[in-house]
């Protein structure tokens, strides 16, 4: 699990979810051959899976802290760069995302209306890209409803609340926040309770 995924996993745990690392779901897709119809099965990966009695979360996590950030055209799948569009296939390809949701429903025994698809972005390629991604995802339907989008600030706010707990947890992210806070390197932590994301 990469570093930002560890933050996201903690934020999911803050919602009362049990969190698993990456899982692949097989999806049958048509190849690009034009001479004849050909189908192949590919595994499409979900970065994190969070589960509780009433909800299953399928999370795509993109950090991109050392790069341009999450680009709206890639998320929507309408960029001229097919390789970048493909990195978001679980989000932007209706055939893939519906098959992943259906596969998760079958594998874990949840009805489709209890399965939520989410995109977590560590860094967007600017405010206009963030606004465009949020608007586009809000207009899509996958499982229980629109695709939820979370940025780094939303994730960190939840994790910082969790870090205020006096209960010891052997977790590198929580320990790092506690050390930085003890050294006075962090601004005041938020006082709000951990959101339930109903």
Which run of H or E residues covers position 70?
none
- Burial (CB < 10 A; 0-12, 13-18, 19+), residue 153, is exposed
> For helices 172-182 and 3-13, what crossing angle results, to 10°?
90
The pLDDT value given to residue 160: 84
Tell me the CA end-to-end span of the chain in Å, nearest whole number.
Answer: 26
Domains and CATH numbers, the chain: 3-153 (3.40.1350)
Res 190 pLDDT > 70? no
Q: How confident is the model at residue 197 (pLDDT cuts 50, 70, 90)?
A: low
Longest distance between any two alpha carbons in the chain, whole Å: 65
Which two tokens mark 144? 């229980």
- Burial (CB < 10 A; 0-12, 13-18, 19+), residue 167, is exposed
Which two tokens mark 28? 């049958």
The pLDDT value given to residue 192: 52
Angstrom distance (rounded) from CA 118 to CA 121: 10
Model pLDDT for residues 109-154, shown as the tens digit of each residue: 999 999 999 999 999 999 999 999 999 999 999 999 999 999 999 9
Model pLDDT for residues 25-75, shown as the tens digit of each residue: 999 877 777 777 777 888 999 999 999 999 999 999 999 988 899 999 999
The pTM for the full model equals 0.85
Angstrom distance (rounded) from CA 94 to CA 66: 29
């Amino acid at each position: 699990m990469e570093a930002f995924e560890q933050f996201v996993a903690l934020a999911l745990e803050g919602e009362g979810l049990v969190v698993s690392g990456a899982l692949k779901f097989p999806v049958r897709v048509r190849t690009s051959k034009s001479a004849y119809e050909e189908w192949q099965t590919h595994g499409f990966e979900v970065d994190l899976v969070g589960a509780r009695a009433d909800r299953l979360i399928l999370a795509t996590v993109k950090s991109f802290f050392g790069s341009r950030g999450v680009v709206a055209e890639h998320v929507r799948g309408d960029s001229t760069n097919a390789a970048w569009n493909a990195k978001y296939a679980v989000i932007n390809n209706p055939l893939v995302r519906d098959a992943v949701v259906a596969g998760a429903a079958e594998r874990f025994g949840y009805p489709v209306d209890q399965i939520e698809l989410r995109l977590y972005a560590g860094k967007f390629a600017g405010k206009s890209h963030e606004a465009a991604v949020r608007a586009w995802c809000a207009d899509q339907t996958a499982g229980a409803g629109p695709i939820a989008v979370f940025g780094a600030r939303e994730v960190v706010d939840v994790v910082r609340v969790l870090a205020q707990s006096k209960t010891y947890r052997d977790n590198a992210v929580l320990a790092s926040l506690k050390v930085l806070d003890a050294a006075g390197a962090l601004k005041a932590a938020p006082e709000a309770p951990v959101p339930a994301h109903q």
